[in-house]
Structure 1
Amino acid sequence: MKRNIVMIQKYEHRYEKSANRPVQFLRFIKTVHLPQIQDTPLLSQHCLLSLTQKINTGDMIKLLSEIKITGSGKQRLAGNELLPTLMSSPVLLKYILVASVKYCYHISCVTPGRLWISDWNNVILKDTATGKTIYSLKGSSESDSGNHTVNRESELIYIDNHYKIRKLSADMKTTTLLIDETDPKWKLICVYCSPSSGDLLIGMRKYDTGRFIGKVMRYNDPCRQKPINPQNKTPDNLYDYPGYITENNNRDVVVSDWRRGAVIVTSGEGIYRFSYTGPPPSGSGLEPRGICTDALSHILVCDLTSGTVQLLSKDGEFLKYLLTSPSQGLDYYAPYSLSYDFYTHCLWVGSGMLMSHRTLSVYRHINRHPAILDQN
């Protein structure tokens, strides 16, 4: 019942906003699937808008003109008041001890109640409310990097132990081979699914002439590869070991390369933008691991050298230490993996150093609008 009420409030809010935006209203009403509600009270008869390709303009104007917005109910907020804001300090909401993995090397959020966690050779699905294991995946690659991701259909995409990309269906009954990399010199080490495009961003590495060389490839449907390696004036050897990849809200590709000691950022087309090598003064050293971005386009990265989670602007400016060890929720371990849940605006932090403390901690570092709080 509560979920239905929240859904109705969402429709009401969007309907109210569309009164001043007719085009947006028409797009919304033609695509939304409204739930069937029984015992609907009798309403006064009014004109009905025919949802065909040809819309009767007169009926549309008449319908929109009949919409009345009163001062009752929740106060409408305008402008920047609706936007999330950065909190002065993060708040620990809860933490979970994870007994079924040795480390928490990588996290992929599925829903607010479920997430995938991996250690060296295990990938498990956890219920975040109970801490119970829902599913244990066998045959994933041995990796301490970001070797799995979740697509828009809540399907798990992962690197298997033969360095192929596979997809596990949302009901966990079907596995599909997506990418079979043919060049044995290149090993797939991380994968990320773009929420905006659905493309797969894959980090690879090879060992050549005594050193590691890395690259990042973009695969779109049906998994045709398109290189997004550096172009123009960017050095050819931009990456050594692209261990974690994420995408920012502006489509920037953000890579954590621990062998380079840097967070490397390119545009969505592969044009080099900047490298972050640590906080002032002059990049004081960085051993980056897990990485993510948030609703405000911040870049968050785990640093094993300092045992911190560092907060950067989308342009690579160091803003602050978001989390430090030891602190609340980080008393026994250094942060290793990160995942930001855009549904709840919660930050998940996983441990990766001490086998006796496999911990998942969840923080809030962004203030949300009260209307959003009511719906979650």
Structure 2
Amino acid sequence: MFIKAEGLKDLIDYVIFDLLTNVLCDFDFKHRCLNQKIEMSRHICSYQEYEDRYIQPAFTFSALQFLFSIKTALIQVHLASHTSKLSITESFNKDDVMESLSTIQITERGIRRVGNECLLKLTSGAEFHQSLTLTDVDRCYHISCVTSDRVWVSDGNNLILTDTTGVPLQPQPVKDLCSDDIFTGNGLHTVNSESELIYINKNYDINKLSKDMKTATTFIERTDSTWVPLCVYWSPSTGDLLVVMLRRLPWGCKVTRYNQSGQLAQTIQHDNTELGLYRVPHHITENNNGDIVVSDFESGAVVVTERGGRHRFSYTGPPSGSVLLPCGICTDALSHILVCDGTTKTVQMLDKDGQFLSHLLTEPQEMGPPWSLSYDVNTHRLWVGSWWDKKVCVYRYITRQDALTDQHSSP
């Protein structure tokens, strides 16, 4: 615009010169041309001012600073949405903006997928948030978050719903939880999007307990006596239920997927060479990219397959060479895989491709060896259950980073 304005100014100068020297014209026409020249000169000065203020490469500014810098040039700007309005006038300030933005409501529609990775970052380490001592369980073999302050916890025999005080919220524990020896320490329960508990009962059926905890119905009935379910996980992204199944004679193990109607949709059993993928998994979860992540206690590995069932990798321990004894497992909003290791008594963090990143938790002082994990996607807190005692501890290792930052650099 600046270059074109200069060219237009030169053209006007040429036209005026030509008119004055070569053409006999009246005074009014020459006066109008002079006025246009003056007006164009004003525009050129204005463009130059904006260029000096905003387009110099050595100067950076935030969006908020930009709004403040041009507020005096604005008479009034209205941002209307139904009945609410934001006016930017001379009384404009940061508090007005924050108050108006806080009234924006986000309505969830359809299946929500994680899309805020750019707004999250790892902290320098796991920060202890709080601990609770449970009253109606002996150990914390498995945890399923319901809300930010409510979790289901099981010890292999009892299953209770508790809040951050550790006191059970239901009149009595779930009585028909599967309690066979082979199920000790397994991920026997999960929670769906309706906050309903899904668990394996003593008849090896998969039950669904209503949100008010008054009605239990059979979601998936066991129809094949040769296979029994070992652990379950409800997928937030698809609404499917992932189930690890075990067959004793002949020995075999597989992962099955059931849709929201309880119908079998997929079976994963063999790797790319038709060998069995699993021995005796204790826990199962799903990553943000659709990978199915299994904590296989007997084979000493975290076995990961893609959404379609192709084997991606198996993680067998950190670079130190210690033998992995995988227990509880979960994934977080940044697609990390977290696994409890019974050998080192740590919580190890992997990336989505199975590369060891760090020991997120060594044996915590606040509790015994970690055995179970549950990640709260709303608060980005990690719930960790102990193997030896009744303790559950909550940690934070992911935080939000500012979307807008003020960056000033000197020329």
TM-score of the two chains, using structure 1 as the length reference: 0.74
**Is the aligned partner of 1:196 residue 2:237?**
yes
Contact 1:248-1:297 at 8 Å conserved across structures: yes
Coordinate RMSD, CA, aligned? 2.8
Partner SS for 2:94? coil
Residue 236 (structure 1) aligned with residue 275 (structure 2): yes
Structure 1 equivalent of residue 208 of structure 2: 167
Whichever structure has more helix as a proportion of its residues is 2
Q: Which runs of 5+ in 2 are unaligned?
A: 1-77, 102-114, 404-411
User: How do residues 35-114 of structure 1 correspond to structure 2 at under 5 angstroms?
Assistant: 72-73=94-95, 83-114=119-150
Q: What residue in structure 2 maps to residue 247 of structure 1?
A: 286
3-state SS of 1:195 partner: coil
State the AA in 2 paired with 1:288.
P
Aligned partner of 1:138 among 159, 175, 182? 175
Matched, 1:271 2:310: yes
Alignment match, 2:373: 338
Aligned mate of 1:290, from 328, 347, 352: 328
Aligned-partner Cα distance in 2 for 1:222–1:68: 52
Aligned partner of 2:168: which letter? T
Q: 2:400 aligns with which of 365, 368, 374?
A: 368
TM-aligned CA deviation for residue 370 of structure 1: 6.5
Between the aligned residues of both structures, percent identity stands at 50
Measured against aligned partners, the alpha-carbon deviations of 1:127-173 in whole angstroms (never above 9, x if no partner) come to 11x22101221101113200000000000000000100010000111
Which residue of 302, 322, 336 maps to 2:360? 322
Compute the displacement of 1:184 (Å).
1.2
In structure 2, relative to structure 1, the CA distance for the partners of 1:81 and 1:234 (3 Å cut) is closer
Cα deviation, residue 221, structure 1: 2.5
Which of structure 1's runs of 4+ aligned residues deviate more than 4 A? 44-49, 66-71, 79-82
Contact 1:200 1:218 in 2 (8 A): yes
One-letter amino acid of the counterpart of residue 308, structure 1? T
* 1:322-351 alpha-carbon deviations (Å, 9 max, x no partner): 1111x3324xx1100000001111100001
Q: 1:231-269 deviations in whole A, cap 9, x for unaligned?
A: 672543001112101111111110000001000001111
What TM-score does the superposition give when structure 2 sets the normalisation length?
Answer: 0.68
- The 3 A distance-change label for structure 1 pair 67 and 323 is same
Task: Tell me how far apart the structure 2 counterparts of residues 84 and 328 of structure 1 sit (CA, whole Å).
Answer: 27
Q: Provide the rounded CA distance (Å) in 1 between the counterparts of 2:378 and 2:82.
A: 34
Q: Is the 8 A contact 1:234 1:271 kept in 2?
A: no
Distance 1:289 1:107 in 2: 12
Instruction: Return the alpha-carbon distance in structure 2 between the equivalents of residues 370 and 197 of structure 1.
Output: 30
Q: Measure, in 1, the Cα distance between the counterparts of 2:116 and 2:210.
A: 39
Instruction: Give the secondary structure class of the aligned counterpart of 2:169.
Output: strand
- In the alignment, structure 1 residue 120 sits paired with structure 2 residue 156: yes
Secondary structure at the aligned position of 1:306 is classed as: coil
How far residue 67 of structure 1 moved from its aligned partner, in angstroms, is 8.8
Asked whether the equivalents of residues 135 and 167 of structure 2 are also in contact (C-alpha less than 8 Å), the reply is: no
- Identify which range, 140-149 or 228-237, moves more after superposition: 228-237
List alignment gaps of at least 5 residues for structure 1: 1-43, 50-62, 372-376
State how 1:29-40 maps to structure 2 within 5 Å. none
- Change in 2 beyond 3 A, CA 1:179/1:80: closer
> Is the CA contact 1:230–1:272 (under 8 Å) kept in the aligned structure 2?
no
Q: Residues 141 and 232 of structure 1: is their aligned pair in 2 closer, same or farther, counting only changes over 3 Å? A: closer
Query: 1:328, 1:47 → 2: CA distance?
Result: 52
SS of the residue corresponding to residue 104 of structure 1 reads coil
| Partner SS, residue 208 of structure 1 | coil
What is the Cα deviation at residue 87 of structure 1?
1.1
Equivalent position amino acid for 1:301 in 2: V
Residue 97 of structure 1 and its aligned partner are, at CA, apart by 1.1
| SS of match in other structure, 1:134 | coil
Structure having the higher Rg: 2
